[in-house]
Amino acid sequence: MATERKFVTENIKRVQLKEYMMKQLNRAGFGGLDIQRTPMGTRVTLITERPGLVIGRRGAAIQALTKAIEEDFKFNNPQIEVQQVDNPSLNAQIMAEKLASALERGWHFRRAGHSIVKRIMDSGAKGCQVILSGKLTGQRHRTEKFREGHIKYCGDPKIKWMREGFAAAKLKPGIIGVKVWIMDPDARLPDEVIIKVAPTVSQELLEAGSPGKLSTKEELSISAAGEAKTDEPADVVPDEAAAPSDEGEPTEKGDVEEADSEAKPDEEPKKED
């Protein structure tokens, strides 16, 4: 049981550190947290929308965070690294905090939910779902969902491609929970099948002994040329003028000589004196 308790204690410390960072980096746009153990200590990677607010003037803010992580959460030699989010509209945690902030400023929950979904889908996401739960319009708790695109709830696609974010909006009637699910733009679902056509080799290249790949236009031109050749008549009938007649007309030199010999009578041989 010692090993199991060690894993549970470690994960509790990570969750507590994440909640602490969400409170401290609310203005900087907290987008996620990654903790890795290294031989030199513990590497803490913070993903934020505005890294300048995390670092502070001359690094004062990041030094205070490092000291708090080491003393309050008992991490060994923590080293904080700050990364900026490439596209904040595709980060589920940042979008959840923005939606919670909009609700606290007095936005109607339907308007805020639809605007967040539209912003996420316009950024290129394959799917988005926003869940608001709490006292939205009255004293009774209820849940509202805003969904667009593809959403996966289980299986490998959900683990691999779905990004989740959570925030809480503190209003006078009570706390409203905000959950945002975003499907990655590069997600490839199991039902997306890509069919690849095998390249063909032309007959002319095979006869020449140099097989290769042809483009589609070349293949079409070769096939059209073959069809044109097959359309031509195989036997060409010669003209009657060029054909030899059956009446024995001379057509060659030998035939001309024979005809002349037949036309002249036999001459008597000359008598010698």
| Farthest-apart Cα atoms in the chain, separation | 161
Amino acid at 84: Q
**What gap in Å lies between CA 170 and CA 134, rounded to an integer?**
10
**What gap in Å lies between CA 151 and CA 131, rounded to an integer?**
13
According to the model, what pLDDT value does residue 118 have? 94
According to the model, what pLDDT value does residue 190 have? 82
According to the model, what pLDDT value does residue 235 have? 52
According to the model, what pLDDT value does residue 241 have? 47
According to the model, what pLDDT value does residue 180 have? 95
Alpha helices (H) along the chain:
2-24, 51-55, 60-72, 92-104, 109-122, 155-161, 203-208, 216-231, 253-263
- 47 near 33, Cβ under 8 Å? yes
**What gap in Å lies between CA 134 and CA 123, rounded to an integer?**
28
According to the model, what pLDDT value does residue 97 have? 92
**Phi-psi sector, 74: left (phi>0), alpha (psi -120 to 50), beta:** left
Would you give per-residue pLDDT tens digits along the chain (273 residues)?
578 888 898 889 888 888 888 888 888 888 888 888 888 888 888 988 888 888 888 888 888 888 888 888 888 888 888 888 888 999 999 999 999 999 999 999 999 999 999 999 999 999 999 999 999 988 899 999 999 999 999 889 899 999 999 999 999 999 999 999 999 998 888 888 888 877 776 665 556 555 555 555 555 565 666 665 555 555 544 555 444 444 445 444 455 455 455 545 555 555 554
According to the model, what pLDDT value does residue 71 have? 85
- 76 near 145, Cβ under 8 Å? no
**What gap in Å lies between CA 191 and CA 152, rounded to an integer?**
13
- 157 near 181, Cβ under 8 Å? no
**Domains annotated on the chain, with CATH:** 7-85 (3.30.300.20), 89-183 (3.30.1140.32), 195-223 (no CATH)
According to the model, what pLDDT value does residue 102 have? 93
According to the model, what pLDDT value does residue 242 have? 47
According to the model, what pLDDT value does residue 94 have? 92
**What gap in Å lies between CA 110 and CA 128, rounded to an integer?**
15
